[in-house]
Amino acid sequence: MRIDWWTLALQTANVLILIWLLARFLFRPVADIVARRQEEANKLLADAAEVQRQAQDARAELERARADIVADRDEVIADANRVAESERMAVLARTNNEIASLRAQADAAICRDRIAMEKALIERTRELSVEIAQRLLERVSPMVAAEAFLAGLCQQVRALPPRERTALMSAQADAIEIITASPLSADDVERIRSAIAEALGKRGFAFRSDPAVIAGIELHSRHAVIRNSWQGDLERIRRELKGVDETARQSQ
């Protein structure tokens, strides 16, 4: 087999020219295009990475803002709860004070009404007692009613302390009064004068009648008042009832 060197040389030259032409007009533009594409792709990737970073930063900022909002909301809620609790306690305190004041006013009003009722009851009891006594005495003569209390009065006169007895004995005759509920006859006056004079040791007395005595005898002077009468008994009972009522109020 015979090789045609000229043909081989020409073909080789053609191949080299083709390669140079391809490299000149095809491979370099393609490489430039590929390089530009690669550069654009890298730029796009870089832009995408920047956008992603910015998105992450924005997301982090959003999370921080959200956390701040939640914290602010919790603080606002806590402040509102504290204010509401403080206001509730203040309202409760005011309500308790108002209730206590109203209760105190009600108790005071009840106490005043009770005291007024008790006073009215005591006064009414006294009036009824006087009325009953007067009705009973209508059936008894004045002397009989007086003599029923005379012994007790004489006993009180005998039991007087020495100072009061001396003061009564040294008093003027008209300075000592024997008081009965109704006027007495002369004989009744003399019997009563004699009995009291024997008990006191003095005879000078003045007699006077006073319906307020109701029944009994009273001895009045500037130094002493000796009572053995229904009026005195009723006054003593009234004082005792008043004392019991005051003791009960103090113990409440």
Residues 78-117: tens digit of each pLDDT: 888 888 888 888 888 888 888 888 888 888 888 888 878 8
Cα 133 to Cα 127: distance, rounded to the nearest angstrom:
10
Q: Let me know: does 142 contact 184? Beta carbons within 8 Å.
A: yes
The structure tokens listed for 51 are: 């956008």
Tell me how far CA of residue 15 lies from CA of 6, 7, 12, 23, in angstroms. Answer: 14, 12, 5, 12
Q: What pLDDT does residue 242 have?
A: 65
pLDDT of residue 21: 67
The pair phi, psi for residue 214, each rounded to 5°, is 70, -65
User: What tokens were used for 251?
Assistant: 């113990």
Low-confidence stretches of the chain (pLDDT < 50) are none
Helix/strand/coil for 230: helix
> Which tokens is 33 given?
């295009």
> What are the start-end ranges of the H helices in the chain?
5-22, 28-137, 142-158, 162-170, 186-200, 230-251
Predicted pLDDT at 24: 65
Contact (Cβ atoms closer than 8 angstroms) between residue 171 and residue 215: no
- Residue 216's closest CA among 131, 132, 145? 145
